[in-house]
Amino acid sequence: MRGFFDEQLELLNTQLIEMGTLIEHSIRSAAEALVSQDIAQAKEAMRFDKKVDEKEREIEALCLKLLLRQQPVARDLRFISSALKMITDMERIGDQAADISEIVLFIADQQYIKKLEHIPAMAGATIEMVTKSIDAFVNRDVDLARKVISMDDVVDDLFDQVKAELIALIGKDASNGEQAMDLLMIAKYYERIGDHATNIAEWVEFAITGIHSKEGDQE
């Protein structure tokens, strides 16, 4: 019985990796579509969202089956319940990558008011956070999970830089305002993706240690 349960836990790991790969593609495709102003790539990035939703339902069904049929012990229960929390954040990341691509469709024919540097850097940082948080779960690596949590400051700092630059551009020329707001919204979506990646890492930490970071902050 335990052998079958371990096989199912390994399947859970595999499916989480697959879902992580899907959202990494979503984030990367949205960023590349933004930089290249590629409508076809933006639409492709939006299609990933449906695949992410399907994978979420698949993982949710597996977790519920494990909870109902296997009656896991406390440590296994933490991993399964954490996985359920993680996929909620992962699905929201997919939604936000699709939202970014939707904005890209609106501004694809416009000349950019500034060179895009920090927004692609935000995308790269969030991809790294997602990848490492999933790796931390699969490998039961609490140090890596905590490293991901600390990386959120990098994304927040990049967002602050983007916001300051865009506000300055509006100050110089009010006609920059509409596109500046679109770019600011894209940056805000990436900042939220960073927050969700942090949530994932915090649930990984809980799965391994039984302690959730936010609980520690409140004490």
pTM score, whole prediction = 0.91
What angle, 0 to 180 degrees and rounded to 10, lies between the N-to-C axes of helices 177-209 and 74-107?
170
User: Is 95 a member of any domain?
Assistant: yes
pLDDT classification of 1: cutoffs 50, 70, 90: low
User: Is 219 a member of any domain?
Assistant: no
> What total of structural domains would you count in the chain?
1
User: Is 44 a member of any domain?
Assistant: yes
What is the Cα–Cα distance from 44 to 42, expressed in whole angstroms?
5
Give long-range contacts, CB 8 A cutoff, 24+ apart: 71-75. Answer: 72/5
Average the pLDDT over each of 23-37, 67-81, 130-144, 171-185 and give the range with the smallest value: 67-81
Decide if pLDDT at 190 tops 70: yes
User: Is 9 a member of any domain?
Assistant: yes
User: Is 65 a member of any domain?
Assistant: yes
Stated length of the chain: 219
CATH of the domain at 134: 1.20.58.220
Please give the pLDDT value at position 75.
83
pLDDT classification of 216: cutoffs 50, 70, 90: very low
User: Is 218 a member of any domain?
Assistant: no
User: Is 138 a member of any domain?
Assistant: yes
Domain that holds residue 100: 2-213
Decide if pLDDT at 37 tops 80: yes
What is the Cα–Cα distance from 199 to 138, expressed in whole angstroms?
16
User: Is 165 a member of any domain?
Assistant: yes
Mean pLDDT of 38-59: 93
Please give the pLDDT value at position 2.
66
Burial class, 104, CB count within 10 angstroms (exposed 0-12 / middle 13-18 / buried 19+): buried
Half-sphere exposure of 186 (CA within 13 A, CB side): 31
Rounded mean pLDDT of the chain? 92
pLDDT classification of 73: cutoffs 50, 70, 90: confident
Higher-confidence position of 119 and 70: 119
